[in-house]
Amino acid sequence: MYKYNGLLVHQSQDEQGILEIIEEKGVRSLHFGSSPKQSSMLLDEPNRLYSPYARAMMAWQLFKDNPEKLLMIGLGGGILTKYYLYHFPECRIKAVEYRKTVVKIARSHFGLPLDPRLKIVIDDGGQYIRKQARKQIDHHDLLIVDAFDQEGLAEPVKQQAFFDNCKSLLTDDGILIVNLWSTDKSLFEEIAWYLGRSFDWRVLFLPVRKRGNVIAFAFSEKMPQITLKQLKSRAEYLKNQYQIEFPGFIRDFKKHNREIFKKTIR
């Protein structure tokens, strides 16, 4: 039985498994041989963030100005990477992807450009983070972890040491953003505990409405001090600038993080 709605426009296989691209109702999506979508792009608006989880991963903008150095673990279709290149011209990006085939597909089917501001490293994300943490020669304003395989969340992300190492690679006011999957409650709670321990509980969780994703935002020591009035004003500005539902993010942050929100937002 055909496992997808829509048209299969590409299928290939590497050592890690099957890669498929499906088009349906003007949306192109990358799958790793299973129904979950790894990346989705509007064919008519390729520089707009279509997926609700991808838009939610931009909620860091409520707390921080434009980044200069960004490290991404997991490329997928390159949708987020392309978005940063388009909207943040001063930002230098390093993306770590385990599968060469995924990089090729991001270029050929999702329009990821060749750009001097972008460096792609083929490596295991967990090993790369560990090696960089030992060197301690490069620090980042943002570190984004969006690392999934056909089975779910990638194995390196399920370890305390991974988040300790991520913390060490951030600037003093840097933010770690992690795309998590909440349907496995015990695993989610375990990772939430790891994040709390690594970041001294400076962590906010943003559930993606009507999806299984939860986006975690973990803050370095110099977490911004901001009033609720300032936050709401910033959200309206960002909504108009990027056409993303930032005011809704504030409501959901407040609803799902009552204690830390009260301590953080004056």
What's the whole-number average pLDDT of the chain?
92
> How many C-beta atoms surround the C-beta of residue 218 within 10 A?
26
What are the strands, taking DSSP E only, across the chain?
7-14, 17-24, 27-31, 37-42, 69-73, 92-97, 118-122, 140-145, 148-149, 152-153, 170-181, 203-207, 213-219
Domains and CATH numbers, the chain: 49-264 (3.40.50.150)
What is the residue type of 140?
H
Q: Which of 48, 46, 41, 102 is nearest to 73 (CA)?
A: 102
Instruction: Confirm whether pTM is higher than 0.85.
Output: yes
pLDDT of residue 81: 97
189 CB-near residues (< 8 Å, 6+ apart): none
The stretch 209-214 carries a mean pLDDT of 88
What is the residue type of 52?
P
pLDDT digits (tens, 9 = 90+) for 118-174: 999 999 999 999 999 998 888 999 999 998 665 667 677 788 999 999 999 999 999
pLDDT of residue 149: 60
